[in-house]
Amino acid sequence: MPSSVKLQVITPSKLFYEGEVELVIARTLTGEEGFMAHHSWACKLLDIGALWIQETGTKEFKEAAISGGFIDVMEDIIIYTDAAEWSSEIDKERALATKALAEKWLGEHSSPDEDPLEVERVKEILHKQESRVHVAEDAGIRKGAKQ
């Protein structure tokens, strides 16, 4: 039987996930990385993107969209993120609409006189929506393949 490790995914408003897992894959600032039981201790910043969780005794992955944060790997694994959403819970149409609004805003506010903080905030919104759409589409592909 493969080794397992306790995983917690914590947002400011709730404990998003808690369970025994064999593998966690998250997008760090240097790319996607996997974490398992007995992994060397690590604390890494996470980028906006997908989080894959393989629970103990399963072959399939649960997928969520997260909005960055950091992962703390010791005896257990803890992920702290501002927001997390299961792929099945993502409102793809809403994400696409928000993405389109952000793209439109950026297209209309490209002058050097724009507030750089506001531009970065809108770029982050765009990046989050792109991630949510990608995670939702991946879930739809997997769901279609199972039928």
Tell whether the model's pLDDT for residue 140 goes beyond 60.
Answer: no
What phi and psi, each to the nearest 5 degrees, are found at residue 126?
-60, -45
- Note the pTM of the prediction, 2 decimals: 0.86
Tens digits of per-residue pLDDT, 44-66? 999 999 999 999 999 999 999 99
Say how many Å lie between the first and final Cα of the chain, rounded: 29
Query: DSSP secondary-structure letter at 40?
Result: P
5-10 and 77-80 beta bridge pairing: parallel
Q: What confidence score (pLDDT) does residue 109 get?
A: 87
State the angle between helix axes of 92-108 and 116-146 in degrees (0 to 180), rounded to the nearest 10: 150
Rounded to whole angstroms, what are the CA distances from 84 to 59, 129, 145? Answer: 22, 13, 25
What's the pLDDT at 141? 52
Distance CA 75, CA 113 (A): 49
Query: Residue 13: pLDDT above 70?
Result: yes
pLDDT band at 2 (very low <50, low <70, confident <90, very high): low
105 pLDDT above the threshold of 60:
yes
